[in-house]
A and B are shown apart, each in its own frame.
Chain A
Amino acid sequence: MTLEVESREPVIADDGRAAERLVVNVGPSHPSTHGVGRFIVTLDADVVTNVVPVIGYLHRGIEKMAENRTYLQVVPLTDRLDYVGSMYANWAYCRAVERLAGIRVPERAEYLRVIVCELQRIASHMMGMGASGADTGAFTMFIYAFDVRERVIELFESLCGARLTYNYVRPGGVSRDTPEGWTDDVLAFTSKVRESLSEMDKLFFGNAIARGRLKGIGVLSAEDAVAWGASGPTARASNVNWDLRKHDPYSVYPRFEFDVVVGERGDAYDRGRVKLLECYESVKIIEQAIAQMPGGIIMTDGLPRLIAPAPGDAYDHIESARGSLGVYLVSDGGPRPYRMKVRSPAFCNLALMPKLAVGHTLSDLVVVLGSLDPVFGEVDR
């Protein structure tokens, strides 16, 4: 593989002076690349003139590995896609399997899936916002966000035993019912989290320096957001009203009252703040879901141990914390998927990097990257 990188030869600037371009290699091990992202950045003095994202440092061939495992064995693999939002990949995959094999899911399981995924949205957005804070040097914001995230992860731990790779959503339902008192713990969390969110809003988004650092940086127009396939908070911050929970409703989402948060300017500030405001909506959904949640079974009856759908294909997508997460499955009638393909929102959003970062300074590059909130497990797959 060859990379097209501008050479270090002197180039003539617009005003006729000779200007040397500086090539900076950011990553794959760099404090602000959110994992193992790598960017070859060309600088003209302090201004970014070119960004070449290099991905693949976390490629594990998950889609290929899925072809050699039974449908149930693929679920733990999907945990490793978006490792700060494992529940989403679990769910998107299971929805595709359920569609392919025609499996019906008990109502209680649907409610549990909604609750864990909205909790996951809070946890994942905390990671995104906290990292945005750390990228701009506001490390306290990072710790505050991680405090909230930790409380969500403790809830998950008591629900399914794992802190990051849950393997909770399974084809046909969920793996475990709630332990005793779990819903009360969730309600105790949601009653406290609003306060933490407004505290973070004041600490970071209300801070003059943070506003100066984030506003007007990496502006993405609504047209470009659609044209580049951006989704999730990245698209919504650019005033694109697109949320699969509302616009292609799945599961029991139509039963809940909530708003789609959209931004106005599409800059890094809006992308961060949309995440914060979405957490309030998630809290609303969780509280309604717990109030409405019926009893009953959590895993559909009579599910064969080895799911072998009839030949065919199925695609299903859900709204993950990063955007539209889709899974496409092809079955040849056997017990293993013939082909799995993941439509990863982080990958599509990351593609915007060169477009958004060019023209800003090197300091803004990490701000733009943080605002896109990529998770390289999902980008590289």
Chain B
Amino acid sequence: MNGLLRGIIVGLGAGILIAVGALIGVWLERKVSARIQMRIGPNEAGPAGLLQTLADTVKLVLKEDITPTQADVPIFRMSPFLVFVPVAASLAVVPFAAGWAPFNIASSALFFLAVPALSVVGVLMAGWSSRNTYASIGGVRGAAQMISYELPRTLSVLSLCVLAGSISTVGIRDAFRWWWIPLNLIGLLVFFIASLAELNRGPFDLPEAESELVAGYFADYSGIRWSVFMMAEYGGIVAASLFAAALFFGGGLGLPGIAGAVVFVFITVCVTVAMMWVKWTFPRMRSDQLMGFAWKVLTPMALVQLLIVGLVVPWL
């Protein structure tokens, strides 16, 4: 009973964190892209347009929830949540403070990498159940891409596990030393790029490629169900940024107290902005280039990182 209660509280917390993260994330993305593209971005609703996302959310909630007549209705209705829930679940093992994560399980690093990957089922189901050619192609692309990028992403975190001698996120964070940052630069880069692909963010946004597939696997969704997909995307960004800040930078660079918390948030925001910066600068890759990049560049890079760490660890 105690575990169930805790689960409900953590679930609510993750939901609120993602909702707030998505609200701020969408606003930030609009502002960052506007700055990159010599525009102003939202500036009317609230100070600096901060309430614009709120207004959009209200609009989305009030919109009609359309289900195509040809769609496989139960699966169509269910799939946005199948994409969202794994992303929310992954937040449960993020070490928000030194020695503390909402759920401190022994193999939490593995949990963080494995559970969000389940979203791929939702993506595939959304694409398939829409009975729309574009959506089907998007769903299949998403499945191929997310599975391929699992490997380099996991390998990049593995080198941290070797360094810390633990596959618990809390353990890795607590074992952090400042010289891990230069040592793990390649791993950080691989994790960052693989996370972009995992989240279907540009330049790897093939499953939803606007210019080719209109909106890909969520082409037929509208209103609140569409916004659940968006929440999942921004929730994923928040989770990946938090995870990168907590593990690759040891939370707040291992600083104690308030200073550590401030640095932790700062690094998280920096990673988030970097993701947006990349998206709004680079063109989109093609599916075969994307696969080639995962297997020929990122995976060897992650293995090299693992080798470097493997050579260093015996001397500690």
Is there contact, CB below 8 Å, between B203 and A361? no
A72 at the interface (CB under 8 A from B): no
A22-47: CB near B (< 8 Å → 1, else 0) gives 11110000111000000000000010
Is there contact, CB below 8 Å, between A366 and B287? no
B171-210: CB near A (< 8 Å → 1, else 0) gives 0000000000000000000000000000000110110011
B112 at the interface (CB under 8 A from A): no
With A137-B283, A204-B283, A212-B286 in contact, do A143 and B212 touch (Cβ < 8 Å)? no
Nearest Cβ distance between residue B139 and chain A, in whole angstroms? Answer: 13
Is there contact, CB below 8 Å, between A212 and B287? no
How many angstroms from the CA of A269 to the CA of B167 in the assembled complex? 47
Residues of A within 8 Å of B69, CB to CB, are: none
Is there contact, CB below 8 Å, between B211 and A31? yes
A284 at the interface (CB under 8 A from B): no
Q: Which of A139, A203, A210, A366 contacts B212 (CB 8 A)?
A: A366
- By size class, the interface of chain B is 20 to 34
A134-159: CB near B (< 8 Å → 1, else 0) gives 11111111011001000000000000
B36 at the interface (CB under 8 A from A): yes
Is there contact, CB below 8 Å, between A363 and B37? no
Is there contact, CB below 8 Å, between A32 and B211? yes
With A24-B133, A24-B134, A139-B280 in contact, do A213 and B285 touch (Cβ < 8 Å)? yes
A207 at the interface (CB under 8 A from B): yes
A314 at the interface (CB under 8 A from B): no
B38 at the interface (CB under 8 A from A): yes
Is there contact, CB below 8 Å, between B287 and A136? no
Residues of A within 8 Å of B36, CB to CB, are: 140
A residues 162-220 with Cβ under 8 Å of B? 203-204, 207, 209-210, 212-213
Is there contact, CB below 8 Å, between B284 and A362? no
Q: Which of B39, B134, B202, B286 contacts A363 (CB 8 A)?
A: B286
Residue of B nearest to A25 (CB): B133
Nearest Cβ distance between residue B134 and chain A, in whole angstroms? Answer: 7
Residues of A within 8 Å of B285, CB to CB, are: 209, 212-213
How many angstroms from the CA of A25 to the CA of B283 in the assembled complex? 24
A341-381: CB near B (< 8 Å → 1, else 0) gives 00000000000000000000111111000000000000000
Residue of A nearest to B280 (CB): A140
Q: Which of B38, B205, B211, B281 contacts A135 (CB 8 A)?
A: B211
Nearest Cβ distance between residue B304 and chain A, in whole angstroms? Answer: 20
A133 at the interface (CB under 8 A from B): yes
B82-102: CB near A (< 8 Å → 1, else 0) gives 000000000000000000000
B44 at the interface (CB under 8 A from A): no
B29-53: CB near A (< 8 Å → 1, else 0) gives 0000100111100000000000000
Residues of A within 8 Å of B287, CB to CB, are: 46, 361, 363
Per DSSP, are chain A's interface residues mostly helix, strand or loop, or mixed?
Answer: helix
Most central of A23, A46, A134 by chain B CB within 10 Å? A46
How many angstroms from the CA of A134 to the CA of B209 in the assembled complex? 11
A residues 316-364 with Cβ under 8 Å of B? 361-364
Per DSSP, are chain B's interface residues mostly helix, strand or loop, or mixed?
Answer: loop
Nearest Cβ distance between residue B266 and chain A, in whole angstroms? Answer: 26
B288 at the interface (CB under 8 A from A): yes
Residues of B within 8 Å of A136, CB to CB, are: 211, 283-284
B282 at the interface (CB under 8 A from A): yes
Residues of A within 8 Å of B211, CB to CB, are: 31-32, 134-137, 366
Nearest Cβ distance between residue B71 and chain A, in whole angstroms? Answer: 18
Residues of A within 8 Å of B284, CB to CB, are: 136-138, 209, 213, 363
B residues 246-298 with Cβ under 8 Å of A? 280-289
Is there contact, CB below 8 Å, between B133 and A209? no
Is there contact, CB below 8 Å, between B286 and A361? yes
How many angstroms from the CA of A361 to the CA of B137 in the assembled complex? 12
Q: Which of B202, B212, B281, B286 contacts A32 (CB 8 A)?
A: B212
How many angstroms from the CA of A362 to the CA of B38 in the assembled complex? 31
B75 at the interface (CB under 8 A from A): no
Is there contact, CB below 8 Å, between B137 and A143? no
Residues of B within 8 Å of A213, CB to CB, are: 283-286, 289
Nearest Cβ distance between residue B70 and chain A, in whole angstroms? Answer: 15
How many angstroms from the CA of A363 to the CA of B287 in the assembled complex? 8
Is there contact, CB below 8 Å, between B202 and A137? yes
Residues of A within 8 Å of B38, CB to CB, are: 143-144, 147
Nearest Cβ distance between residue B99 and chain A, in whole angstroms? Answer: 41
How many angstroms from the CA of A136 to the CA of B206 in the assembled complex? 10
How many angstroms from the CA of A364 to the CA of B206 in the assembled complex? 12
Q: Which of B39, B203, B205 contacts A143 (CB 8 A)?
A: B39
B residues 90-149 with Cβ under 8 Å of A? 133-134, 137
Residue of A nearest to B286 (CB): A363
Nearest Cβ distance between residue A144 and chain B, in whole angstroms? Answer: 7
Is there contact, CB below 8 Å, between A144 and B283? no
Nearest Cβ distance between residue A267 and chain B, in whole angstroms? Answer: 14
Is there contact, CB below 8 Å, between B288 and A209? no
How many angstroms from the CA of A134 to the CA of B212 in the assembled complex? 10
B residues 6-41 with Cβ under 8 Å of A? 33, 36-39
Nearest Cβ distance between residue A153 and chain B, in whole angstroms? Answer: 16
Residues of B within 8 Å of A361, CB to CB, are: 286-288
The residues of A with any CB-CB pair to B shorter than 8 Å are 22-25, 30-32, 46, 133-141, 143-144, 147, 203-204, 207, 209-210, 212-213, 361-366
Would you list 11 pairs from A and B whose C-beta atoms are within 8 A, ordered by A residue? A31-B210, A31-B211, A137-B211, A139-B33, A144-B37, A207-B283, A209-B282, A209-B285, A213-B283, A362-B212, A364-B286
Contacts A31-B210, A139-B280, A143-B37 known; list 16 others, CB within 8 Å: A22-B133, A133-B283, A134-B211, A137-B209, A137-B284, A140-B36, A140-B281, A143-B38, A143-B39, A144-B37, A147-B38, A203-B281, A209-B284, A212-B286, A362-B137, A362-B212
The residues of B with any CB-CB pair to A shorter than 8 Å are 33, 36-39, 133-134, 137, 202-203, 205-206, 209-212, 214, 280-289
